[in-house]
Amino acid sequence: MLNIATMSKRILAAIIVALLMALPSYGQGMTKGIMSPPANVRPPGLQNVGIEQHLDEQIPADLNFRDETGKPVRLGDYFGKKPMILNLVYYNCTMLCGEVLSGLESALRVLKFDVGKEFDVLTISFDPRETPDLATKKKAEFLKRYGRAGAAQGWHFLTGPQESIDALTKAAGFQYQYDPKTGQFAHATAIMVLTPEGKIAQYYYGVEYAPKDLRLGLIQASENKIGTLADQVLLYCYHYDPATGKYGAIISRVLQLSGLATILGLGILMTVLIRMGSGHKQPAAR
C-alpha cells in the first residue's frame, strides 16, 4: 500500500498539473478566423470604405425599415429585450456579404446560446433597391442552415429606404461606396454586438467569428443576464480589445484565480490527509 507521504505528493502533483492544463483552455475557441484590418485602416484606393468604431453609440430607435414579410418596423421594436448581433450586408452581393453571413451562421451553429432565446440577430440591407422578397429568400436559406427551433422569431432580415440606411450606417461607423461600373458596393466586413437598449458594445472583423468571443460579447452586452458561472470567470480573466475586435487574457487575473485554485486545492488535500491520518490511528493499549 502507498504510505501517506507518497499519496500526498501524488495528489499535490495532480492538482498542479490540472491547474497548468486549465490555463490555456481559457482561450480555446477564441479569436480564430480571418480578420480584416482594424477599424481605422482603409483598403488601398478606397478611402471612403471602412469601419470607424462607435463603441457605446446608440443605434437610432426611430429608423423605419420593413421586415422580410414586408411589415413596416422601427429598429426600436427590437430593442429592450435581449442583446443583439447586427450585421450590415446587401442580399444581391456576390462575394463578401455571403461570406459574412456564412461565417456568422457557422459561429451561431456552434454557440450554446440560441437565436431568439438568449439573443436576436438583425441582418439589414444597405441597398435601398432591395425588397422584402429578397430578404425572405435570404432568411429561409440561413434558417435552414442554422436549423434550430425558434430562430425565425429572433433572426430578422430587413430592408429600408436610403434615409434610414444612411442614419444607421452613420451611427454604426459603417462606410461603404457604390461602384456604378460594376453595380456593386465596396464595403468592409464586420458584425456588431448591441446591448438590449441598442448601444454598440463590440465589433468583430472579418468573415469568421470565434464562438467563444461572440459568447463573451453577448454576455457582457447583456450585463451578465445570460451565461453561466463559468462564463463570469472567463469574463473576469478576459477583456475586449477594440483595436483587434478580440478578447485577450488579463494575465494578472488569471494568476490570481490560479493562486486561489492552488490554495483551495491544498486545503482540500490537507483535509483529506488529516482524515486519512485519523482513520489509521491505532486504538490505545489498555
Q: Where are the domains of the chain?
A: 50-249
- For the chain, what percent of residues have pLDDT higher than 70? 62
* pLDDT score of 223: 80
In DSSP notation, 85-145 reads EEEEE-TT-SSHHHHHHHHHHHHHHH-SS-BTTTBEEEEEE--TT--HHHHHHHHHHHHHH
Query: Is the C-alpha dihedral spanning 25, 206, 222, 125 positive or negative?
Result: negative
Range with the poorest average pLDDT among 57-71, 78-92, 96-110, 268-282: 268-282
Q: Report pLDDT for 48.
A: 80
Question: Minimal CA–CA distance to 206: which of 26, 79, 37, 86?
Answer: 37
Phi, psi for 169 (deg, rounded to 5): -65, -35
CATH topology of domain 50-249: Glutaredoxin (3.40.30)
**What pTM was estimated for this model as a whole?**
0.69
Who contacts 144 (Cβ-Cβ below 8 Å, separation ≥6)? Answer: none
